[in-house]
Structure 1
Amino acid sequence: MWQILHQITRVGIVTEAPPPVDDAVLAEASRIHQDLLAILGQALTIRQVDAGSCNGCELEIHALNNPYYNIEGLGIRFAASPRHADMLLVTGPVSRHMEEALRRAHEAMPEPKLVVAVGDCGCDGGIFGESHASCGKVGNVIPVDATIPGCPPAPIEILRGILTAVKRQP
């Protein structure tokens, strides 16, 4: 133990340098937030459903809640129930086991229902496609308002896709 402490005091804590702050991305994220709130008024509630993904898209969606993007601080939040959601954010190819659950989540949402398919798998089935275990893209199970391609898409792209879906809302 003393050897480790001695090494820490001699060398110091070695970590990577923080990533540089990209002012263009921050400005774009702020503009997208303002556009969303101007359209929605006060807030947007999202129910995220993993329909069979590898969790790559979920990691990027969770990044939206970090201090860099801070969507919850601007009135966009995630809900545990589709009954309280304005938008359904679906990731992954829809597995046969999740097909009925996805339909039920969609039916439980109040009108107007917005659905966004995230990632290549949600948009077109990705590398999984359609098979005995997979229904393929989200659009094969429920109607989709917007798609966000990428494997996985960056958080800023997810924000753009959400804005696209909200702008299409009547």
Structure 2
Amino acid sequence: MFRILLERLQQGRRTVAFPKSLPPLPPRYRGRPELVDGPCVSDCKAVCAGLCPTGALGFDHDGLYLDLGRCILCGACAACPGGRVRFTGDHRLASTSREGLILRPGTKPEVRPLEPARRKLFARSLKLRQVSAGGCNACEADINVLGTVVYDLGRFGIDFVASPRHADGVAVTGPVTENMYQATRDTFDAVPDPRLAIAVGACAISGGIFAASAETRGGAPGVMPVDLYVPGCPPHPLTILDGLLRLLGVPTP
């Protein structure tokens, strides 16, 4: 017994202090991509168009853009000949609108808190049902990490439950395959109003690398109205937690 207590004292505090302070992220962590103003070099458009495996990087009438909802953070676009794409160490990738994930020079995704009525209802107790709608288990694993002693999601009053009838919303991962479409829809419908829907990962937002497949529905937006988009492949647990807290009106660094 004394040995256990001694080891516990030696280990010290394991739960991160977030959101009071930002925990250190690994040096190789690839965070929010950033677009830089500047001219394109010769054949830049042709080269950049073929860099991204999901078509997240492109050009339109307003110039260069990066669709963070389709981005898998592979880093291939950092090879842009004009040096107009770079990756930051910023973990804040979440957005409350799909349009907010379309990045241009000088823009960042933004999470707007829920309207006062729902924020008051969910601020101290938010129960979510996680739905793996054809995911590869990467996003699911990082959601599970939030329940460990390091992040201790329960200290914010946020928990994952076994039944949608006990939930306030759903967190969808995966591109929503044809085989999972009806189950995903039924799960959302079983959650009592008012309810939330959160799309976690590129697959759940846009279909990700499976977007062109006829066997998927292109993610959660084709099944339910989404309140929070959390990009990544998979998103870092801190990115998921940051998005959830900001949605509930909790200030984060």
TM normalised by structure 1 equals 0.74
Q: CA deviation at 1:60?
A: 0.5
After superposition, where does 1:1-170 map in structure 2 within 5 Å?
25=18, 27-28=20-21, 39=120, 40-167=122-249
The CA distance in 1 between the partners of 2:123 and 2:224, in whole Å, is 27
Do the aligned partners of residues 45 and 113 (structure 1) sit closer, same or farther apart at CA in structure 2, a change above 3 Å counting? same
Structure 1 vs Structure 2: percent identity of aligned residues?
A: 42
The worse-fitting range, judged by mean Cα deviation, of 127-136 and 150-159 is 127-136
Could you say which structure has the higher helix fraction? Answer: 1
RMSD across aligned C-alpha pairs, in angstroms? 2.8
1:161 & 1:97 partners in 2: Cα distance? 29
1:76-114: CA deviations, max 9, x gaps? Answer: 211101011012100010000110001111110011110
Structure 1: runs of 5 or more not aligned: 1-17
- Flag as ranges the 4+ runs of structure 1 deviating above 6 A: 21-24
Report the Cα distance in structure 1 between the residues aligned to 2:199 and 2:248, rounded to whole angstroms.
13
Whichever residue aligns with residue 185 of structure 2, its letter is: R
Cα distance in 1 for residues equivalent to 2:128 and 2:223: 19
Note if contact 1:29-1:156 (Cα within 8 Å) is conserved in structure 2. Answer: no
Q: Residue 77 of structure 1 aligns to a residue in which SS?
A: strand
Cα distance in 1, alignment partners of residues 17 and 158 from structure 2: 21
Q: Is the alpha carbon distance of 1:28 and 1:50 closer, same or farther for their aligned partners in structure 2, counting shifts above 3 Å? A: farther
Distance 1:25 1:41 in 2: 17
Structure 2: segments with no counterpart, 5+ residues: 1-10, 24-112, 114-118
- Compute the displacement of 1:29 (Å): 7.0
Is 1:116–1:161's contact at 8 Å kept on the other side of the alignment? no
Could you say if the C-alpha distance between residues 68 and 99 of structure 1 is closer, same or farther in structure 2, counting changes exceeding 3 Å? same
Aligned counterparts of 1:155 and 1:49: Cα–Cα separation in 2? 17
Q: What is the TM-score when the length of structure 2 is the normalising length? A: 0.51
Q: How many residues align?
A: 143
